Chain A
């Protein structure tokens, strides 16, 4: 029933404007893949090309080994759930779900069996005789999913289906979609610009940016080992802090990364010989920092720390606490209950977000030494390519 999807060298142009440039992607049978990217990156266009709603300019799309980009949408064996749901307003829920089956001559009793079964699963069996305008947003969403399920497609395509729901319903529907995928085991492609949806639903995430695929990987690969500076900045909230890299020396674990006017960060990253620091940057996630609120002293305030403060003991795999740390002047404190985010700046003006415990005592204006986990430091070269700890490039 379910099938793999293979995309070969796909290009899409609208007039002179290229929106997708030479995309290649293999989706395995039964996989849940999320296309993630900012608005206008081409993710919805790619989905619509798979559905057959947009013509392919170059390249091929195959479903289960059979080329489908030459077929009309209805014959491709895919079902789509639209952002606006696109339910037929004059038809009842039952008619909405049955329409696609009637069009291919499915016997009446079979249509009734599948419709009833899908309605039961989605808990909309009491709504079957109602029309869409009598349903709430969440119920319409379920009908749209039910309309896709009854067709028993070889792949499901979801185009930002949760974006019209309120936050609580979005969270619940997200969970239900994950359960649906587990039960059906059918290949699913899900387009979103919401990284939480992508992280929670996906077997693999395809991060798209500026007409191309930036990275394909499992949610944790995308999060922990972003391939590019764009992926690092786009995935994760708050966004990864970026510090300018001014020099590299040998440290106890790997590269010791110099930040001009601030100090240095010891990392476990191994950089290639002759790594060009021009335009390169250091990426640090808030949760990989260790603000040491108790270490705040009058000496730290004002001028900040000179380079000599960073030559302290950085041994083992612990964070760069103590003297080898970054002096963060806290500007704004964001309390999230279980943790506290410290938004501030370093002596050179670079913005950095650090994460403290929920019971943080730090106050705005305070200068806090911030240690960094050397294994969680990312280095990006001028072209945006990433170098992580525990790898040699």
Chain B
């Protein structure tokens, strides 16, 4: 008997198989493996038996871990709003069908395609004492020099500046795409409704791109919690650990101190923090949006 048209068959799953294999091998297995590792005494040579929550206790009792958590949270709390705000500003400024706007979109997006090594190299030229761009500028203005990469407070700030510059392209492009989806007749209706530019922005534009702003913020929270390359290459976490993010702490524990178990435990804690932060952000922005 012929099978009814459009009936689902088990063999259909084959079409999803290539993706599923990669997904399981590269995401699910490492995730479970990480949890398993965090409960083991382990170094780079092998496993030495189950230790229960010991690794977690050691991580949570480490003052350096809490310093790294604080650094990372501050970093995320500052860079994500700045990325969303500047992305929105650039999106609005470049939302025009002119050649100049198209060119500038390319310019602002270009930094995104650079590798972290190039980005940090460029910003080291700006921040480095003595011959750096800012040093020369300060000297020319007659101001006292600032060790941007070696002063407590300024070092994390410098990493933040480089990060915003590097990561700006994606928020801008996503917001720009959302802005271009807004039907033009809404703006015409607003013009006939005597809405000022500010009222049009707050009552028409912002509500229309709200979901994209939430998406951009969530992506950036997840990304910026994983800060690593810029911090390692620009300041190496210094001075005195004040610009050391959590991933750098994990890297030190696992690959410099060879304590893979502790590194895995710290990784799981980072995973939890990112999850809570992203969910919290999503929950807060969606509150009162049920209609």
Contact = CB atoms under 8 A, between A and B. Distances in A.
B207 interface: yes
A86 B189 contact: yes
A99 B183 contact: no
Contacts of A52: 191-192
Nearest to A129: B291
B185 A82 contact: yes
A79 B192 CA distance: 7
Contact of B208 (A53, A72, A74, A90): A90
Contacts of A103: 193-196, 199
Contacts of B207: 88, 90-91
Contacts of A131: 291
A330 B79 CA distance: 80
Most buried by A among B183, B189, B199, B208: B189
Contacts of B186: 86, 88
A84 interface: yes
B194 A74 contact: yes
Contacts of A147: 189, 193
B134 to A, nearest CB: 44
Sort chain A's interface into a size bin.
20 to 34
B203 interface: yes
Nearest to A72: B191
B204 interface: yes
A80 B203 contact: no
B183 A84 contact: yes
A75 interface: yes
A73 B191 contact: yes
A10 to B, nearest CB: 19
Contact of B188 (A53, A87, A99, A151): A53
Interface in B172-207: 183, 185-186, 188-196, 199, 203-204, 207
Nearest to A148: B192
A111 interface: no
A78 interface: yes
B200 to A, nearest CB: 9
Nearest to A84: B185
A122 to B, nearest CB: 18
A392 interface: no
Sort chain B's interface into a size bin.
10 to 19
Contacts of A99: 190, 193, 195, 203
Contacts of B194: 74-75, 100, 103-104
Contact of A86 (B185, B196, B210, B291): B185
Interface string A86-115: 111111100000011001100000000000
Contacts of A92: 291
Interface in A338-378: none
Contacts of A53: 188, 191-192
A379 interface: no
B92 to A, nearest CB: 18
Contacts of A33: none
A51 B199 CA distance: 20
A300 B42 CA distance: 109
Nearest to B194: A74
Nearest to B188: A53
B291 A82 contact: no
B193 A74 contact: yes
Contacts of B183: 84, 86
Contacts of B199: 103
Contacts of B203: 88, 91, 99
Nearest to B185: A86
Nearest to B199: A103
A101 B137 CA distance: 53
A86 B188 CA distance: 8
A151 B208 CA distance: 24
A75 B194 CA distance: 7
B189 A82 contact: yes
Contacts of A72: 191
Interface string A59-81: 00000000000001111001110
Interface in B110-142: none
Contacts of A86: 183, 185-186, 188-189
Interface string A13-32: 00000000000000000000
A53 B189 CA distance: 10
A335 B190 CA distance: 48
A99 B202 CA distance: 12
Contacts of A84: 183, 185
A100 B193 contact: yes
Most buried by A among B193, B207, B208: B193
A78 B189 CA distance: 12
Interface of B: 183, 185-186, 188-196, 199, 203-204, 207-208, 210, 291
The 10 closest A-B pairs by CB, nearest first: A74-B194, A100-B193, A86-B185, A90-B207, A86-B189, A103-B194, A73-B191, A73-B192, A103-B195, A53-B188
Given A80-B188, A88-B207, A99-B190, 18 more contacts: A51-B188, A53-B192, A72-B191, A73-B188, A74-B191, A78-B192, A86-B188, A87-B189, A88-B190, A99-B195, A99-B203, A100-B192, A100-B193, A103-B193, A103-B199, A147-B189, A147-B193, A151-B193
8 contacts: A52-B191, A52-B192, A53-B188, A73-B192, A74-B192, A86-B183, A99-B193, A103-B194
